[in-house]
Chains A and B, each alone.
Chain A
Amino acid sequence: MTDLLIKLIPVFPLLAVIANGLFGRYLWSHDWAHRLAWGSVGLSFLCTIGVVADVLRTGTAHEVIAYQWIFGGDLTINLAYLVDPLTCVWLLVVTGVGFLIHVYSVGYMHGEDGFTRFFTYMNLFMVSMLLLVMGNNYAVLFIGWEGVGLCSYLLIGYYYDKVSAAKAASKAFVVNRIGDAGFLLAIFLVFINFKTLDYTKVFAQVGQLSPDMATAIALCLLVGAVGKSAQLPLHTWLPDAMEGPTPVSALIHAATMVTAGVYMVVRNHAIFDLSPVAMETVAIVGGCTALFAATIGLVQTDIKRVLAYSTVSQLGYMFLGCGIGAYTAAVFHVMTHAFFKALLFLSAGSVIHALSGEQDIRKMGGLSKKIPWTYRLFLIGTVAIAGIPPLAGFWSKDEIMGHAFVHHHYVFYGLAALGAFLTSFYMFRLTYLTFYGPSRMDHHTEEHVHESPMVMVGPLMALGLLSLVGGFLGFPPEHGWLHQFLAPVAGVGGEHEVGTGLVLTLMMIATGIALLGWGLAHYLYSMNPAAPDRWAAKAQGIYNTLLNKYYVDELYDVLVVEPTKKLGLALDWFDRVVIDGIVRAVGTMAELGAAGSTWAEKHVIYGGLNIIGYGNHLLAKQWRQLQSGMVHHYAAIIIAGLFLLAVVIQLIVQR
């Protein structure tokens, strides 16, 4: 029974994809398209609840083979699912939050072009994400991995007539491919070492791995995770990904897809545990990203970009948690983050919706009265992410920071604490600029401000509730319900018995930090609104650096993008011109040497003319057609290739 339910989970959205994708435009109206879409996700959610209930009751993991995909040689790959507590947490988040976002999208996307297309992509994303977290081997994980990448690409570029959207989409795709290459490499290494790709078999033999190999695999995995979870130095795509519709940002770029990297690290913690170097790297990447993204978030002016950088920063916390061995805490943070970040994005979407598409917070303000529900819910999200108890974000973030402190990672603790302060500050800055103070909207927009319909506010309320109480799943710290549930898969976090006093002190410090950030934001943006500009003017250099995101994009353009393009062009040119040119040059040179008789002179002149003509042909597009001699040159290249081959082979054979 449970096995059947497990198999059914990804099937519903898949059927919806097929139905909507193939026939949606022709056979039924938008109403049916969206009903199919959210209905299917809802059904998956119900199945998930059934499965999770069973896992809770029996405490065993389920492994189900759907069908055999690839076999031959040493390798068999099944489309098979593994549902253990770790997967359960992700399944609940993906289907639960996914369902709410689907419902919200019905209101948000109402009347947009390509309504059916949107829901087809969203459901396709659900299928991929479910495969990603449910697979029992690396191959299925990879398929899901690529699938979510593709959907993200399609959805970011949803408004494809916008140039920036198209650019952002390809950027996300390309950057993700870099991560994917690392991930694939890791899969190869795993296969070479274990001759299998199934998690259970791999982790059973993981002890045989040499430390160096474990480090290599773990670092390759990390490259993949860094790409997908937008960590330093591959973080650049995520803020740009905000070009997609807001529900997409909420679902993909906040709640689910970007946490895939964390999932992968936690899933492979057995390998990471073997390599202190890799763990250290994970923690460094996480800690640095957490702080780095938070500083950029301080000065951004686009409501969604602020949230995007906060996502990058929060993902940094999760990586930091993984890196210091606090896997449960990291998973816990993934969960609470999914709640409050989805809430924040969807509320932001509601704001944008109310303002007819305005995203610049400098043109907002004073909205608390006009859209009270959105305001209240956004505030809940802000308090939750800022880490003020007893909301969800506090418990999980505090647990990661506490773990860092208790295990003597004081540097990371410092990074995290500073990041937490900045987070609290820029989130309240966002709230103040958006909802308080005088209105800075233009008149036309102001007239049209309206609260969003129930279909949008409803899911917001559900998420708000989760953000309020979600943290208690992990209460009391280190021994909560979630910790016990995850204990079989993530290892037990608290080997150190820590005194209650220390825990309480750390909690109070964390709360203090968050309140301090709030206070500063209150001072700057509510009590003394002229101050921020003054400060910015004083520290012009820093301000501009932050505003331009440390110029990382520009750096990559100069270092990577342009050279690659040039290399391609150069090789093309090389292929067409240089090789050909060499052949010609040899000819011309030999000819000059043979000068002496009367007609040789003529040839030199002719040759010169020919070179001039050659230049012209280069300019003219059809130069190729006019070059009847080309064929001979091709033949000469073949011969030259032959010659080279002979030489090389001789060298190889003689060794």
Chain B
Amino acid sequence: MTSYGADLLVILPELIVVGAACLLLVLEPLTPPSRKELLAWLSLGALALCIGLTGGQISVLNLRVSAFSDLVVVDGYARFWKLLLYGVTGLTILMSLPYLKAERLQLGEYYGFILLALSGMMVMVSGADLLTIYLGTELMSLSLYVMAGLKRSSPRSLEASAKYFVLGAFSSGLLLYGISLLYGVAGGTKLGAVAAAIGSRGFDDPLLLIATILLAAGFGFKLAVVPFHMWTPDVYQGAPTSVTAFMAVASKAASFAAFLRVFVEGLGGLKADWSNLFLLLCLVTLILGNLVAIVQTNIKRMLAYSSIAHAGYALIGLVAAGRGMGESGGASGLASVMLYLALYAFMTLGAFAVIGMFRKGGLEGEDIEDFAGLAKRQPLAAFLMLVFMVSLAGIPPTAGFIGKFYVFMAAVEAGLAWLAVVALIFAAISAYYYMRVVMVMYMREPDPSAGEVPQLVASPALTVVLACAVAGVILFGLFPNPLVSLALQSVLPLK
């Protein structure tokens, strides 16, 4: 009889989150409809506990503990992502409070699913074994499929859920296929075993090549990288906005975390080869994401393409890491990806928070045109949106600039100056569609025939979310050092 006490201690945050989720699901039927918000506060409490637990370990950031026969590992890298994910989840829950009320979706289960998805993400970032990572991904995705379809009154939402589910299952199949091939090559699913088996064999083994491509496709789907991006606009547009925000930020961050870990810790020996592969993906993603975003008229769809483009920028960091030379070669590239996603979280959450509570009568104002004249009606709301758009466009002194700056810098250091230049050009193009929102807000009058004018419906919870987001965008834009050093310290070693 083995005792798992020490192991359980390692995964205590996961246990808390799952426990809270189960508690929520049990309490849900017992709570009267008017009191459902209590459930949200309960989940926030659980998150606070987790933040305390993981945040308390920040002094021993890089202490590596593993549990359950090395299938789970908690190191600096995992702690970094977990802290980010707690924050994002907390803000999403806060954002959902007024949103669900406005949409009349008073579902206790919603918060349960958010927590379950979070637990899946935590497993993903902590997984040191392909199997664990895969299961974490599935746990996250399955929760998201359900959440995307929660707005059952809207056919779009149901369609989004169904589409996401079918395609997600399909991509999981690819991922699993890649994993099984890798298992065949390496004789084990632990990342360490895979790395040892690969040694420095390169793509001489066709199985390895196919496995790598399949893994790239499987993760590429979750990251919304072209050509695996097709689901993104439909699903982002159809899903309830708070869920979209959660998908765009948390799911993307967790997938990137697992993705980096698999490719760095497991397939690090192939870095010269996969960096070429991702270079290609990164280029097509930048091109397609940025150019297609220009012509969108629905703001959620526009942000979907923008999120595709942002995945492209983040990939630059990974390419740079693969090409990195010398002792610390890859470190700055990987750290730049981590930084990019952390900073991206603030601006995207902020933008979606504004969109979610931007209402025309009872409905969401989703068209970019709905923002016309917002600056006159609600200058503060327009200003916040301006800050988020400016940051997404990567204009200093916002967080978005810092993120892009480090990614591009990593590319230049890795000898990929031309890639940085190309990305820069696309960043300049992206300013066009972000600034269009600003222009509509500040320089256009609403169409007088449109009837009811959309308004941002304020509420205390929303205020907190927006305040956090805007503070993050501006403070990290001005004082990025703490976050940068955190990312640099917790980065994975890439041989």
Query: Taking beta carbons and an 8 Å cutoff, which residues of A are in contact with B?
Result: 25, 68-75, 142-143, 146, 150, 154, 157, 160-161, 165-166, 169-170, 173-174, 177-178, 180-181, 184-185, 188, 191-192, 565, 567-569, 571-572, 575, 624-625, 630-631, 634-635, 637-638, 640-642, 644-646, 648-650, 652-653
Contact = CB atoms under 8 A, between A and B. Distances in A.
A141 B413 CA distance: 22
A141 to B, nearest CB: 11
Given A160-B443, A653-B203, A634 B230 contact: yes
Given A72-B488, A192-B412, 5 more contacts: A69-B479, A69-B481, A181-B424, A645-B213, A646-B213
Main secondary structure of the interface of B (DSSP, over half): helix
B277 A645 contact: yes
A146 B396 contact: yes
Range, interface on chain B: 35 or more
Given A166-B439, A569-B295, A648-B280, A191 B412 contact: yes
A178 B295 CA distance: 20
The 7 closest A-B pairs by CB, nearest first: A641-B227, A160-B443, A166-B443, A568-B294, A634-B230, A653-B203, A571-B291
A191 B479 CA distance: 22
B332 interface: yes
B171 interface: yes
Contacts of B424: 181, 184-185, 188
B41 interface: no
Contacts of B166: 631, 635
A549 to B, nearest CB: 24
Nearest to A70: B480
B91 to A, nearest CB: 23
A72 B405 CA distance: 11
A624 B156 CA distance: 10
B275 to A, nearest CB: 10
Contact of A638 (B227, B409, B410): B227
B324 to A, nearest CB: 11
A173 B295 CA distance: 19
Contacts of A74: 413
A571 B295 CA distance: 9
Contacts of A178: 428
A73 B292 contact: no
B461 interface: no
A503 to B, nearest CB: 46
B439 A645 contact: no
Contacts of A71: 481, 484
A642 B213 contact: yes
A624 B230 CA distance: 13
A142 B396 contact: yes
B428 A649 contact: no
Contacts of A69: 478-481
A649 B276 contact: yes
B443 A645 contact: no
A646 B292 contact: no
A75 B409 contact: yes
Contact of A73 (B209, B210, B409, B444): B409
Most chain A beta-carbon neighbours within 10 Å: one of B202, B273, B396, B478: B396
Contact of B217 (A72, A166, A625, A642): A642
B369 to A, nearest CB: 14
B209 A646 contact: yes
Interface in B194-233: 202-203, 209-210, 213-214, 216-217, 221, 226-228, 230-231
Nearest to A178: B428
A321 B413 CA distance: 37
Contacts of B282: none
A568 B292 contact: yes
A181 B394 CA distance: 13
